[in-house]
Amino acid sequence: MTLSDHPAERHRQVGRLFTERVRATRSWDAPSPVAGWTARDIVRHLTEWLPGFLSAGAGVDLPELSEGPSVDEDPVGAWRVHCEAVQALLDDPATACRTLANPHTGALPLDQAIDRFYTADVFMHTWDLARATGQDDRLDPDFCARLLAGLEQAEEAIRSSGHYGPTVAVPDDAGPQIRMLGFIGRDPFWTPAG
């Protein structure tokens, strides 16, 4: 599947794939490729960081903080409510006219900021959840290559942010998904212990 270049549609596609992995997860305590995280922690991360980012940078409050179940009680439900709230925000025509300003990112159109920072994060964490839970972990190779190119241009900033681990060496002839995963600090060949 080729991902759209439009923020709302790309989120719909990426969110749909992540939702499929969430719904098929059987063990929320399964270890993940992110050191110290379980499958549940992946969902927790994605549902918890964006609301503060949007509120501080654009004055946008996502409704799910008070309306949805907690990730501890119901990770599937928490993800569904969160994903729907983000999609509703992106589908709102007014969102493209709003700006998100952040000292680290500068000022960007709100839909592009969500696409660049959040949708890309969901895309990358789809691999983590799939790998942790034994599901299909293939990602769109074209988008992997595009993400990698953008990340490489901002390597100093992303390494200093503390959000990415050191690069993991991969074979010279590796495809875009393996190269992208290695660049963000994942072992592309990680499997759960035991």
Q: Report the sign of the C-alpha dihedral through residues 138, 22, 13, 6, in that order.
A: negative
CA torsion, ordered 177, 119, 22, 45, to nearest 10 deg: 100
Q: Is residue 1 very low, low, confident or very high in pLDDT (cuts 50, 70, 90)? A: low
Q: Report pLDDT for 156.
A: 82
How much is the average pLDDT of 160-185? 92
In a domain, 154, yes or no: no
Beta-carbon contacts of 118 under 8 Å, excluding residues fewer than 6 positions away, are: 11, 50, 53, 86
In a domain, 184, yes or no: no
15-57, pLDDT tens digit by residue? Answer: 999 999 999 999 999 999 999 999 999 999 999 999 999 999 9
In a domain, 81, yes or no: yes
In a domain, 108, yes or no: yes
120-151, pLDDT tens digit by residue? Answer: 999 999 999 999 999 999 999 999 999 999 99
pTM of the model: 0.94
At residue 64, does pLDDT exceed 60?
A: no
Q: Where are the alpha helices (DSSP H) in the chain?
A: 7-23, 39-58, 64-67, 75-91, 110-113, 120-132, 141-153, 155-161, 176-183
65-111, pLDDT tens digit by residue? Answer: 567 899 999 999 999 999 999 999 999 999 989 999 988 888 999 99
- Tell me 103's DSSP state: T
In a domain, 93, yes or no: yes
Q: Report pLDDT for 65.
A: 53
In a domain, 168, yes or no: no
Number of domains in the chain: 1
Residue 98's CATH number:
1.20.120.450
Nearest to 180 by CA among 135, 133, 136, 121: 121
Contact call for residues 34 and 174 (beta carbons, < 8 A): no
Least confident of 36-40, 72-76, 160-164, 179-183: 160-164
Q: Is residue 113 very low, low, confident or very high in pLDDT (cuts 50, 70, 90)? A: very high
Parent domain of 77: 7-138
In a domain, 102, yes or no: yes
In a domain, 94, yes or no: yes
Separation of alpha carbons 128 and 22, rounded Å: 11
Measured in whole angstroms, the distance separating CA 75 from the mean position of its chain's CA atoms is 16
**Residue 133 backbone phi and psi in degrees, to 5:** -110, 10
